[in-house]
C-alpha cells in the first residue's frame, strides 16, 4: 500500500489513518535506555518485536545495543535480510521445517535461540548437523509468567543436553511478562524478586550439572529497573520503551527509571460530527485494543470503541469542546506492538506533531511475520 506521506511533507499532509513516530521523542527514548544500561554495565538487547523494522534496529545498535531480540523466526529472517546481523530468538521452535530455516539463517548471522524441552534441543542439534552454522542456546525458565519455560530444577539437565550435543550454552532466558503491567512499582519489584529467586535456583541446578551459566537475560519496559538492580541479570530485553503506549503510561513509574516519552501515534481525523459525539476514521484495524482503548493525545475526551474502522469521542471530564469535522486527532495506542503489526509503514516526523515535517518513511519489514 502507498505510504501515507512522503519525506518532506508537512504533518498536515499525512493521510489518515497513519502510524506516525515522533522521531525526536523516539531518539530520546533510545538514548536514555542505552545510557541506563551503560551506567549499570549491562548488555542491552532491545526486543525488535515492538518495531519489526531494520532501520530502527540500526538506530538501537548505533546507540550501543549488542543485538536485538525477536519472537518469531520470520521476524529474524526479515530483519537479517535488511542487515541486522546479531539476533536472539527469545522463543521456542520445535518444528523441523522451521529448524532447517533457522540453521540456514545461522550460517549468515550470529543467532541465538531459547529452548525449554529435550525434544526441542534434539531437533535443533539434528537441524544443525552437517552445517557449519552454530547457534547459542538459552534454556528458558518460567519465572512466574506461566508461559514457556521449565521449572528451575529442570534447567541443569537441559543445559547438559545442549552441551552434550556440542552446542554453545548461552545461559538462562528468564522473562517475567506478567510483571510488566502490574500498576504499582512495589508489586513489580516483588514479582521480580520472586523471579530472581527462581533464577538463582536454576543457576544452582546448572552448576550442579557441572556447567557454567554465562548470562541471564530477560526484562521488559515495566520491570527492567528491578532486573538491573538484582545483580544477576546481565542483559535487558525491553522493547516497548522505544515507543511507549497507553498501557505503559498507566504504570506507576519505577524510581530510577529513565523517562520514556510517548513516541508512537495514530494520526486520525474527524469524519462524522454530532452534537454529543464525533467519529474518527480509525478503528481497531488501525490500533490494537487487546490492552484497552487508546487515549487522545493532549485532550481528555472519552474514547469509545466504534468498531473496525471507527473510534467515537465524547466530551471528557474537563468538558473541552470536541474536535471539528476534518480536524486531526492523535491517538495514543493501547498497546504498541500489535498496533505496529497492523501497518505497512512508519511515518517519521521531525519537529513535533504540530509543526513538524516528515523525515522518514520506513517499511515495517517484519509485519505479519508470524511464522
Ligand X SMILES: Cc1ncc(COP(=O)(O)O)c(C=O)c1O
Nearer to ligand X, 47 or 301 (CB): 47
DSSP states of 236-264: E---GGGT--HHHHTSPPPTTPPP----E
Quick check: 339 binds ligand X (CB under 6 A)?
no
Q: How many residues bind ligand X (CB under 6 A)?
A: 13
Member of 17, 144, 170, 239 binding ligand X (CB under 6 A): 239
Does 238 contact ligand X by CB under 6 A? yes
If one asks whether residue 237 binds ligand X (CB under 6 A), the answer comes out as yes
Rounded Cα distance between 45 and 140, Å, is: 16
Provide the minimum distance between the beta carbon of 276 and ligand X in the complex, in angstroms, as a whole number: 37
Q: For residue 77, give every residue at least 6 positions away whose Cβ sits within 8 Å of its Cβ, in sequence order, or none.
A: 101, 105, 369
Footprint (CB under 6 A) of ligand X, residues 82-121: 90
Q: Which is nearer to ligand X, 189 or 221 (CB)?
A: 221
Rounded CA separation 195/232 (Å): 11
Taking CB under 6 A as the criterion, the residue among 64, 177, 292, 338 binding ligand X is 177
> Taking the complex as a whole, how short is the minimal distance between the CB of residue 166 and ligand X, in angstroms?
26
Cα 230 from Cα 152, distance rounded (Å): 17
Distance in angstroms (rounded) separating the CA atoms of residues 225 and 39: 12
Q: What is the dihedral of CA 92, 98, 101, 106, to 10 degrees?
A: 10
3-state per-residue secondary structure call for 115-131 = ECCHHHHHHHHHHHCCC
Q: Which is nearer to ligand X, 60 or 237 (CB)?
A: 237
Which region, judged by CB under 6 A, interacts with ligand X, from 25-33, 79-87, 236-244, 276-284? 236-244
Stretch that binds ligand X, among 103-111, 119-127, 173-181, 296-304 (CB under 6 A): 173-181
In the complex, minimum distance from the CB of residue 325 to ligand X, in angstroms, rounded to a whole number: 37
Could you tell me the smallest distance in angstroms from the CB atom of residue 13 to ligand X? 31
Q: Choose the stretch contacting ligand X; rule: CB under 6 A; options: 16-24, 76-84, 231-239, 350-358.
A: 231-239
How far, in Å, CA of 43 to CA of 23, rounded? 24
Interacting stretch for ligand X, rule CB under 6 A, among 26-34, 237-245, 264-272, 340-348?
A: 237-245
- C-beta of 16 vs 237, nearer to ligand X: 237
Q: Name the percent of the chain in helix, strand, coil, to the closest 5.
A: 30, 20, 45
Quickly list DSSP for 60-123. HHHTT---EEESSHHHHHHHHHTT--EEEE-S----HHHHHHHHHHHTTSEEEEEE--HHHHHH
Q: Could you say whether residue 176 binds ligand X (CB under 6 A)?
A: no
For ligand X, the binding residues in 205-224 under the rule CB under 6 A are 220-221
| Cβ proximity of 97 and 126 under 8 Å | no
Q: Which residue is nearest to ligand X (CB)?
A: 220
Positions in the binding site for ligand X (CB under 6 A): 47, 50, 69, 90, 175, 177, 180, 220-221, 237-240
Amino acid at each position: 500500500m502507498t505510504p501515507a506521506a512522503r519525506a518532506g511533507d508537512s504533518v498536515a499532509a499525512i493521510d489518515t489513518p497513519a502510524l506516525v513516530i515522533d522521531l525526536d521523542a523516539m531518539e530520546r527514548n533510545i538514548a536514555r535506555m542505552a545510557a541506563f544500561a551503560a551506567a549499570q554495565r549491562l548488555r542491552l538487547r532491545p526486543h525488535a518485536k515492538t518495531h519489526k523494522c531494520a532501520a530502527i534496529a540500526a538506530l538501537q545498535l548505533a546507540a550501543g545495543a549488542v543485538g536485538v531480540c525477536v519472537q518469531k523466526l520470520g521476524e529474524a529472517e526479515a530483519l537479517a535480510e535488511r542487515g541486522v546481523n546479531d539476533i536472539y530468538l527469545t522463543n521456542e521452535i520445535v518444528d523441523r521445517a522451521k529448524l532447517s530455516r533457522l540453521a540456514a539463517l545461522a550460517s549468515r548471522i550470529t543467532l541465538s535461540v531459547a529452548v525449554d524441552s529435550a525434544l526441542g534441543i534434539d531437533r535443533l542439534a539434528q537441524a544443525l548437523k552437517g552445517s557449519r552454522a552454530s547457534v547459542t542456546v538459552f534454556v528458558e525458565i518460567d519465572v512466574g509468567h506461566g508461559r514457556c519455560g521449565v521449572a528451575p530444577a529442570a534447567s541443569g539437565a537441559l543445559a547438559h543436553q545442549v552441551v552434550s550435543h556440542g552446542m554453545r550454552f548461552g545461559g538462562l532466558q528468564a522473562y517475567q511478562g506478567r510483571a510488566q503491567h502490574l500498576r504499582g512499582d512495589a508489586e513489580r519489584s516483588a514479582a521480580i524478586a520472586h523471579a530472581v529467586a527462581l533464577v538463582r535456583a536454576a543457576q544452582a541446578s546448572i552448576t550442579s550439572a557441572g556447567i557454567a551459566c554465562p548470562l541471564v537475560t530477560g526484562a521488559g519496559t515495566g520491570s527492567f529497573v528491578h532486573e538491573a538492580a538484582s545483580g544477576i541479570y546481565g542483559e535487558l530485553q525491553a522493547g516497548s520503551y522505544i515507543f511507549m503506549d497507553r498501557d505503559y503510561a498507566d504504570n506507576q513509574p519505577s524510581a530510577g527509571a529513565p523517562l520514556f516519552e510517548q513516541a508512537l501515534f495514530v494520526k486520525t481525523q474527524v469524519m462524522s460530527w454530532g452534537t454529543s459525539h464525533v467519529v474518527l476514521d480509525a478503528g481497531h484495524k488501525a490500533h490494537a485494543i487487546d490492552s484497552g482503548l487508546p487515549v487522545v493525545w493532549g485532550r481528555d475526551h472519552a474514547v469509545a470503541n466504534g468498531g473496525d474502522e471507527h473510534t467515537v469521542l465524547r466530551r471528557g471530564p474537563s468538558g473541552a469542546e470536541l474536535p471539528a469535522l476534518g480536524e486531526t486527532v492523535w491517538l495514543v495506542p493501547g498497546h504498541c506492538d500489535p498496533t505496529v503489526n497492523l501497518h505497512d509503514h512508519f511515518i517519521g516526523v521531525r519537529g513535533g506533531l504540530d509543526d513538524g515535517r516528515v523525515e522518514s518513511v520506513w517499511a515495517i519489514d517484519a509485519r505479519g511475520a508470524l511464522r
